[in-house]
Structure 1
């Protein structure tokens, strides 16, 4: 944020910006809509010191509707706070999977790392054991193919299926290391999150990755430790069994010369000593994770292309979804052919327990109507793609509070009559408010970091003069005093 952005926050946006922060933190969607209608640029406001934006607060508290509203208002979805954390990291840390789903649908960057530990959103999800968030993060890497589990476990002999998706990229993503060489599997094993460990193993997590001593982290176990060392330190018998069954080396030593068994004894974890003493005579078979959910990629692509909210404000629905009975069907399950709306299909993929049977299709979810296995969804012929969001490639104006008297638009309050009345687009009038400099009452449209204060022409007071406006104009009929203009003129000379 440039000089103009900081000055705007200091002089005029502090009061209303804090109101938007409070609304985002408390989940007050009506207040947030009213404030963003008054000044859409408030979406970029951040608190002093912590530098958390309203997007961070709403994501941390799980208010997915406000998250969607802020993103559609033009806020940077990958905005960082002072720790370098994005809203996606905050949502994964607190386990708000609906927020994660919204951010993934809007293509949030899952590769960004925070500034203090080098951890990605996948690390945060594995740290707290939020398996559902973890699965949503890799939605673009796990294809909707029935042979996925077999390919990842090297049990598929068909070369065509092996080339159908990039398994190397998926393994690279899952085995991404933070500071100290810690992988998500290390974190999940240390804290005893067995479901996360099982899903990570299905996604290609390596059991032989070791930590390193880079001088930036405090490693009480010792560098050169495998995930089995971490599981032994945490004392989780289930995690130890999963890692041993996946081929983890029980005799591997770290730089301190400690094996997983020695680590368990040093941390007084007697419950796992029997598991780490010798490998079982009969190999343990690991079942597929119930969070694998193969149809997720197919429905995410359809949602991005065609939207996932109700597209019609008409009270008559000719072909309602069999689950919500409110929205028209847009997708069909391949196999049984039952039709659903995109939002219900997204909910099914995120919440339904997928098949754990090796004989069937591992990762498929059951159809809620006939219990037939669903591996992917297809778009109906009547479902039309939507256009690109107009505010994704445009910056917000410096002051959008005072609209011209002749402009006509429908603010966010106009769409509160129905909770799911909006489509992926806001209404065309709302788009014109947030993307048009004419309706904003501004004679020039430029970013907050370009030019001096005196070169920006804003007509927030209704006057015909050229003057900078750094405060919110709640009363357009009030004229600025000459002393105020003189102070602004003096300040602009030093900018």
Structure 2
């Protein structure tokens, strides 16, 4: 007779709890946890069920895991926390559940990027606003000295660029290649961002 174990892992060390979290299925998560599943189990990429649930954008799944003491500071092999994953996947409701449990929203991943970098890259204004309201460092730089505004400009997220600029982001900041946000926008053909940054430059000249 085959005996199934609640903590069995597949070839990538994912448990049934990871699978349910990937789908964002709160009911199955609750059932598995009450049956003995390890809430903070890590797969071969060091992803926990909480990472997976956040990526699914399921607030209900995230709440179930948090209720059962999921580690909000867990890092995967890229040193990304669930908040990084939420920011990258535009999972605002999930981020709102995570942030009150964090002592610092400015934790950086292996590339030196904070959750704000990821939110700017994905172009999600609501996420950017949330992070800024909770103390995100608007001028934090990654390992290439790029700020959030560099990434927003490069991706052509004009409204995020405007939002960051209005909150005091350094629009003339330079990365390790001496690239400014204007360089970033120009190099990726983002004309609306280029026009906006040029207008800011003209305004500053006439101040």
Normalising by structure 1, what TM-score? Answer: 0.40
Q: Which has the higher contact order (CA 8 A, sep 6+)?
A: 1
Question: Where does residue 170 of structure 2 map in the other structure?
Answer: 249
Matched, 1:53 2:4: no
Matched, 1:70 2:32: yes
Question: Hey, which of these two has a bigger chunk of helix by percent?
Answer: 2
Secondary structure of the corresponding residue to residue 174 of structure 1: coil
Q: Residues 132-182 of structure 1, C-alpha deviation per residue, up to 9 Å, x if partnerless?
A: 1111112335xxxxxxxxxxxxxxxxxxxxxxxxxxx3xxx2110001101
Q: Residues 332-369 of structure 1, C-alpha deviation per residue, up to 9 Å, x if partnerless?
A: xxxxxxxxxxxxxxxxxxxxxxxxxxxxxxxxxxxxxx
2 CA distance for matches of 1:59 and 1:271?
39
1:63 is displaced (CA, Å) by 1.2
Alignment of 1:349-360 (within 5 A): none
Matched, 1:90 2:11: no
> Of residues 139, 160, 170 in structure 2, which corresponds to 1:208?
139
Question: Where does residue 125 of structure 2 map in the other structure?
Answer: 194
Alignment of 1:322-333 (within 5 A): none
1:238 is displaced (CA, Å) by 1.1
Question: Where does residue 76 of structure 2 map in the other structure?
Answer: 114
Provide runs of 4+ in structure 1 moved above 3 Å: none
Q: Residues 391-427 of structure 1, C-alpha deviation per residue, up to 9 Å, x if partnerless?
A: xxxxxxxxxxxxxxxxxxxxxxxxxxxxxxxxxxxxx
> Of residues 132, 135, 149 in structure 1, which corresponds to 2:93?
132
2 CA distance for matches of 1:125 and 1:193?
11
> Of residues 236, 239, 251 in structure 1, which corresponds to 2:157?
236
Q: Residues 272-331 of structure 1, C-alpha deviation per residue, up to 9 Å, x if partnerless?
A: 1132221696xxxxxxxxxxxxxxxxxxxxxxxxxxxxxxxxxxxxxxxxxxxxxxxxxx
Contact 1:244 1:279 (C-alpha < 8 Å) held by counterparts: no
Q: Which structure has the greater CA radius of gyration?
A: 1
Secondary structure of the corresponding residue to residue 100 of structure 2: coil
1 CA distance for matches of 2:16 and 2:37?
10
Q: What is the root-mean-square deviation in Å for CA atoms of aligned residues?
A: 1.6
* Structure 2: runs of 5 or more not aligned: none
Relative distance call for 1:280 and 1:201 in structure 2 (3 A) is farther
* Structure 1: runs of 5 or more not aligned: 1-10, 18-41, 142-168, 213-222, 282-495
Contact 1:192 1:231 (C-alpha < 8 Å) held by counterparts: yes
Relative distance call for 1:280 and 1:121 in structure 2 (3 A) is farther
2 CA distance for matches of 1:236 and 1:280?
21
Question: Where does residue 109 of structure 2 map in the other structure?
Answer: 178
Contact 1:188 1:197 (C-alpha < 8 Å) held by counterparts: yes
- Give the paired residue count: 202
Contact 2:72 2:101 (C-alpha < 8 Å) held by counterparts: no
2 CA distance for matches of 1:237 and 1:248?
14
Secondary structure of the corresponding residue to residue 101 of structure 2: coil
Relative distance call for 1:202 and 1:224 in structure 2 (3 A) is same
Contact 1:126 1:196 (C-alpha < 8 Å) held by counterparts: yes
1:86 is displaced (CA, Å) by 0.2
1:90 is displaced (CA, Å) by 0.3
2 CA distance for matches of 1:174 and 1:190?
17
Relative distance call for 1:280 and 1:58 in structure 2 (3 A) is farther
Q: Residues 446-480 of structure 1, C-alpha deviation per residue, up to 9 Å, x if partnerless?
A: xxxxxxxxxxxxxxxxxxxxxxxxxxxxxxxxxxx
1:105 is displaced (CA, Å) by 1.6
Alignment of 1:187-336 (within 5 A): 187-212=118-143, 223-277=144-198, 278=200
